[in-house]
Every structure is written in structure tokens, then in C-alpha cells.
């Protein structure tokens, strides 16, 4: 068996270990079910796996370190579960990952330094977790990113200028954090952006940054709840 998709059913209980004995699998879809418990450590047997979808279940526990053996993975989706703890320090072994979705869990703490070695990532969604501290400036090493969502965590301090080096970004969401300081104007160099969300942070009160007018491809702009001042009529939406 090479491809197994058991998604969008009503399977319950823990993930059956027998599934992880199918060592020829390259695709495993167990998403949109009611699976509980931990991701089985036996997952390390699936070293040909390129895509693992376990999102939208009731999983708990932490990401097992054994997952680092899945060195062929290009897509990992664990979003909308109850997974806790920190990211494993050996996560950089998944060096072929193009998409990593872990949003809507209970991950906490800071990123392991090794995380920033995953420079093939094109999509990274870590939103709606409990990550803390200043957002790492090492984000600049992920220069293949086209979509970055870090919103609704407890990141503090300034939005790092290094985000502006991600010049392939099309989608950027930093909303719902605890970022402070002036509105992040350096992101105005990300001229491929079609979606930008900076809502619900603790930026200094101020007027609309004129540099944002350079984002001429924007289709969605979310500036809600950031204490912006001035006359709304002075903002020329037709410039986008």
C-alpha cells in the first residue's frame, strides 16, 4: 500500500499502530476524524512518507522525536488538535518540508535553534498556539516562504525587520499577538503580498503608514484594533 486516505470519517480511539506498519506508504491521511491520544512513536517506520495529514482530530501529547526519521516528508499537517509542548529540537531533520501546519494547538515556549535550518519551507502556519517571547530574527533564513502565519500567539517586542527579507511572501498574518512599537513599515517592501493581517496588536498609536501603498497587489488588509488615528478619508484604498 502506497496511498491511504481515511480522512473525513468518524473514526475514534487512538491511531491504530497497524497503520504505521505499512512501511511502503508515501501518503497518509487521517484528518477530520475523532482520533485521541498521542501520535504513535511507530510512525518512524514510515520513512518513505511524503505527506502526513492528521489535522482536525482530538490528538494530545507532544510531537514524538521519532518523527524526525520521516526525512522524505514534504507536507505535515497537525493543525486543530490539542498537541502540547515545544517543537522537538531535531525537527530540522525534516529538511524537505515544504508545508508545515501546526496552528490551533497548544504548543508553547520558544523555537529550537535548529528550526531555522528548514529553509525549503514555502508555507508555515503556527498561529493560535502559545508561543512566547520576541519573534526570532532567524526567520530571514526561511527565504522560500510564500505564506507565513504566526498570529494569535504571545509574541512580544517589535515585529522583526528581518521579515522584510522574505520577498516571496504572498500571505502574512501577524495579528492577535502582543507586538509593540511602531507599525511595521519594513514589510512594505514585500510587494507580492496579496493578504496582510496586523490586527489586534499593541502598536504605538499612529496614522496609516504611507509606505503600505507600495503593496499594490493587496486583496485583503486587516488593520483592526491597532489604535490607528487620523482621518479615515485620508486613506486612499484605490491606491492598492
Q: What is the pLDDT of residues 182-218, one digit of tens each?
A: 999 999 999 999 999 999 999 999 999 999 999 999 9
Query: Which of 79-88, 107-116, 230-239 is least confident?
Result: 230-239
Model-level pTM? 0.97
* Distance, CA of 178 to CA of 186 (rounded, Å): 18
Confidence of residue 240 (pLDDT cuts 50, 70, 90): confident
CA angle 109, 113, 116 (to 5 degrees): 110
Q: Which three cell numbers stand for residue 101?
A: 501546519
**pLDDT class of 239 with cuts at 50, 70, 90:** confident
Q: Is the pLDDT score of 87 beyond 90?
A: yes
Is the separation of the CB atoms in 195 and 218 below 8 Å?
yes
Sequence-distant (6+) residues with CB within 8 A of 238 are: none
The model's pLDDT over 124-183, given as tens digits with 9 standing for 90+, comes to 999 999 999 999 999 999 999 999 999 999 999 999 999 999 999 999 999 999 999 999
Instruction: Provide the pLDDT for residue 89.
Output: 93
The per-residue pLDDT for 91 is 94
Burial of 8 (0-12, 13-18, 19+ CB in 10 A): exposed
The 10 Å Cβ neighbour count of residue 158 is 13
pLDDT at position 236 is 82
- The runs of H, that is alpha helices, within 97-212 are none
Contact by Cβ (8 Å): 17, 38: no
pLDDT of residue 235: 80
Amino acid at each position: 500500500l502506497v496511498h491511504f486516505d481515511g480522512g473525513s470519517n468518524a473514526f475514534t480511539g487512538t491511531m491504530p499502530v497497524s497503520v504505521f506498519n505499512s512501511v511502503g506508504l508515501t501518503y497518509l491521511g487521517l484528518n477530520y476524524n475523532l482520533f485521541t491520544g498521542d501520535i504513535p512513536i511507530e510512525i518512524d517506520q514510515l520513512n518513505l512518507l511524503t505527506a502526513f495529514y492528521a489535522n482536525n482530530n482530538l490528538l494530545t501529547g507532544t510531537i514524538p522525536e521519532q518523527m524526525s526519521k520521516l526525512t522524505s516528508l514534504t507536507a505535515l499537517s497537525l493543525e486543530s488538535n490539542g498537541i502540547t509542548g515545544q517543537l522537538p529540537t531535531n525537527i530540522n531533520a525534516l529538511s524537505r518540508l515544504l508545508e508545515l501546519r501546526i496552528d490551533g494547538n497548544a504548543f508553547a515556549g520558544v523555537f529550537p535553534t535548529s528550526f531555522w535550518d528548514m529553509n525549503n519551507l514555502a508555507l508555515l502556519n503556527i498561529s493560535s498556539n502559545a508561543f512566547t517571547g520576541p519573534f526570532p530574527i532567524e526567520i530571514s533564513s526561511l527565504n522560500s516562504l510564500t505564506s507565513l502565519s504566526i498570529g494569535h500567539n504571545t509574541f512580544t517586542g517589535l515585529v522583526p525587520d528581518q521579515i522584510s527579507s522574505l520577498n516571496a511572501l504572498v500571505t502574512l498574518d501577524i495579528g492577535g499577538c502582543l507586538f509593540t512599537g511602531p507599525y511595521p513599515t519594513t514589510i512594505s517592501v514585500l510587494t507580492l503580498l496579496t493578504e496582510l493581517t496586523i490586527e489586534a496588536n499593541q502598536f504605538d498609536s499612529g496614522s496609516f503608514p504611507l509606505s503600505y501603498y507600495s503593496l499594490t497587489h493587496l486583496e485583503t488588509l486587516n488593520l483592526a484594533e491597532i489604535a490607528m488615528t487620523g482621518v479615515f478619508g485620508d486613506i486612499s484604498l484605490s491606491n492598492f
